[in-house]
Amino acid sequence: MASLSQLIAKPATFSVSTPRTSSGQYRPRRATVQCASSRGGERSEPDAPKHQDRRDPRRARRQCHRHPDVRASRRRRPRRDARRLLLRRRGPSAERQRATCCPPPSSAPAVDFTPPDAASLPLRTRPAAHSVTADYVAKFNAGIAAMKALPPDDPRSFSAQASVHCAYCDGSYSPEGFPGVELQVHNSWLFFPFHRCYLYFFERILGSLVGDPSFAMPFWNWDAPDGMRLPAMYADQSSQLYDPRRDGRHGTPKLIDLDYSGTEPRFTDKQQVDHNLRVMYRQMVSLSPTPSLFFGSAYRAGDDPNQGPGPLENVPHGPVHVWCGDPKQPAREDMGNFYSAGNDPLFYAHHANIDRMWSVWKGIDARRHTDLTDPDWLDASFLFYDETPQLVRIRVRDVLDTGSLRYQYQDVPLPWTAARPTVTRRADSLLAPAAQAAAAAARKAGDFPITLDEATSVTVKRPVAGKRSKAEKASEEEVLVIDGIEVDRDVAAKFDVFVNAEDHGAVGSGGRELAGSFVNVPHRHGHGRGRGRGHGKNGGGIKTKLRLALNEQLEDLKAEDDESVVVTLVPRQGKGKVKIGGVKIELMH
Considering the candidates 65, 195, 275, 523, report the single residue annotated as catalytic: 195
Distance CA 559, CA 500 (A): 8
| Secondary structure string (H, E, C) spanning 101-147 | CCCCCECCCCEECCCCCCCCCCCEEECEHHHCCHHHHHHHHHHHHHH
Considering the candidates 250, 321, 504, 523, report the single residue annotated as catalytic: 321
**Single-letter amino acid code for the residue at 23:** S
CB 19 within 8 A of CB 66: no
Considering the candidates 65, 165, 350, 504, report the single residue annotated as catalytic: 165
- Concerning whether 275 is annotated as a catalytic residue, the answer is no
- Concerning whether 186 is annotated as a catalytic residue, the answer is yes
- Concerning whether 338 is annotated as a catalytic residue, the answer is yes
CB 482 within 8 A of CB 544: no
Q: In 3D, which of 92, 538, 165, 143 has the Cα closest to residue 338?
A: 165
Indicate the annotated binding residues: 165, 186, 195, 317, 321, 351
Indicate the annotated binding residues for Cu cation: 165, 186, 195, 317, 321, 351
Q: How far apart are the first and last CA of the chain?
A: 19
Helix (H) or strand (E) run with residue 196 in it: helix 191-209
- Concerning whether 350 is annotated as a catalytic residue, the answer is no
Instruction: Name the E strands within 407-513.
Output: 407-409, 443-444, 450-451, 456-461, 477-488, 493-499
CB 56 within 8 A of CB 63: no
Distance CA 208, CA 442 (A): 60
Strands across the sheet containing 456-461: 443-444, 456-461, 564-573, 493-499, 514-520
489 by DSSP, 3-state: which?
coil
**Single-letter amino acid code for the residue at 209:** L
Considering the candidates 250, 317, 350, 523, report the single residue annotated as catalytic: 317
Considering the candidates 67, 186, 523, 535, report the single residue annotated as catalytic: 186
Considering the candidates 65, 67, 351, 535, report the single residue annotated as catalytic: 351
Active site residues: 165, 186, 195, 317, 321, 338, 351
